[in-house]
Amino acid sequence: MVSSLEAAVLIGVAGLATLFSMFVVRHRDMVYSSAALALVGLSTAAVVGLLGFPLVAVFLVIVYVGAAVMFIIVSVSMLGGGGREEWDEWRGLAAAAAAFSTVTLLGFIGGLWQLYTPPQPVNLETIALVLTRDLYPVVIVLAAGLAATILEGIAIARRR
């Protein structure tokens, strides 16, 4: 049974995923759109993890963040850094302070710190057995995709 706090967190993270996906579609700059795609992947992985599928969430993080980094590399390589951006260190500091304050307040007010459980020891033999026995096709596809991404990044970096 899901508690009301867990349901609220799940709905909030799903809402963030929706907002980030709208930003991906509507923003004209490919670099910012790709960064938002990574945030979509992270928030989607959080939703999947909260639903009780942590292994799928880990693969989502790997694939989405890898894809977003690859999109950023490709867009910067193809378009170059022709645009001039303004640097405002106070705006970034204010955004970081606001994000930290929000997360801290939500953690203490919502009692999220009570949900923390210390990490348990990991049996690597069991993980290796599950990956090689039950998830073998997924591991092969993931390894091939990550290898292709790395090779593509190297090829693009050598052309620069």
In this prediction, residue 1 carries a pLDDT of 53
What's the rounded mean pLDDT across residues 2-12?
76
* 94 CB-contact burial (10 Å; exposed 0-12 / middle 13-18 / buried 19+): exposed
Considering the entire predicted model, what is its pTM?
A: 0.51
pLDDT digits (tens, 9 = 90+) for 54-70: 778 888 888 877 777 77
Q: CA 158 to CA 160: how far, in whole Å?
A: 6
Domain of residue 19, residue span: 4-81+95-118
* Contact yes or no for 102/95 (Cβ under 8 A): no
In this prediction, residue 2 carries a pLDDT of 58
Position 145 in a domain? no
Position 137 in a domain? no
Q: CA 68 to CA 59: how far, in whole Å?
A: 14
Position 50 in a domain? yes
Whether 119 has a pLDDT exceeding 70, the answer reads: no
